[in-house]
């Protein structure tokens, strides 16, 4: 990490605090209320019932939208996970059924071919 060069003409914080001590009034006065607290106080004091109803409707709509988005996402993920598991089991079962059927069919074909070949060889002996 490189060190920045310092301009000696710019005072550091400790120099500023030493040069300008707080007055007794500034030290005892609480900091000004935050903007949010001021807005809240103004709203409580001055809003009509209609304005409160509009605010309630907007908040309800916003919260419902956020919840619905989250519910949709979670539901989609759970369905995907469930479907993947179900499809995996179905594919496994189907593969086993096809394998068994294919083995049976091949066994019958080979048995028939051997029987025909033996019949053919026996017919040639005579």
Kindly report, residue by residue over 71-95, the tens digit of the pLDDT.
Answer: 999 999 999 999 999 999 999 999 9
Q: What's the number of CA atoms in the CB half-sphere (13 Å) around residue 87?
A: 6
Is 118 a residue whose pLDDT tops 90? Answer: yes
CA distance 60 to 50: 15
Instruction: For the chain, give the percent of residues with pLDDT over 90.
Output: 44
Instruction: For the chain, give the percent of residues with pLDDT over 70.
Output: 74
Prediction pTM value: 0.39
Is 44 a residue whose pLDDT tops 90? Answer: no
pLDDT at 9: 66
pLDDT at 124: 87
Q: Checking phi first, is residue 9 left (phi over 0); if not, alpha (psi -120 to 50) or beta?
A: alpha
Mean pLDDT of the chain: 81
Quick one: average pLDDT of 5-13? 63
Q: Give 46 or 111, the one with higher predicted confidence.
A: 111
Quick one: average pLDDT of 26-48? 69
Is 2 a residue whose pLDDT tops 50? Answer: no
CA distance 109 to 117: 12
């Amino acid at each position: 990490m490189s060190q920045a060069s310092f301009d000696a003409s710019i005072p550091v914080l400790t120099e500023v605090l030493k040069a300008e001590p707080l007055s007794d009034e500034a030290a005892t006065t609480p900091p000004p209320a935050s903007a949010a607290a001021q807005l809240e106080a103004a709203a409580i004091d001055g809003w009509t019932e209609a304005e409160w109803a509009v605010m309630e409707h907007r908040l309800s709509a916003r919260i419902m939208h956020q919840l619905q988005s989250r519910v949709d996402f979670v539901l989609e993920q759970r369905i995907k996970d469930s479907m993947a598991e179900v499809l995996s089991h179905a594919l496994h079962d189907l593969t086993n059924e096809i394998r068994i059927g294919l083995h049976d069919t091949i066994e019958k074909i080979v048995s028939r071919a051997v029987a025909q070949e033996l019949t053919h060889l026996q017919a040639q002996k005579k």
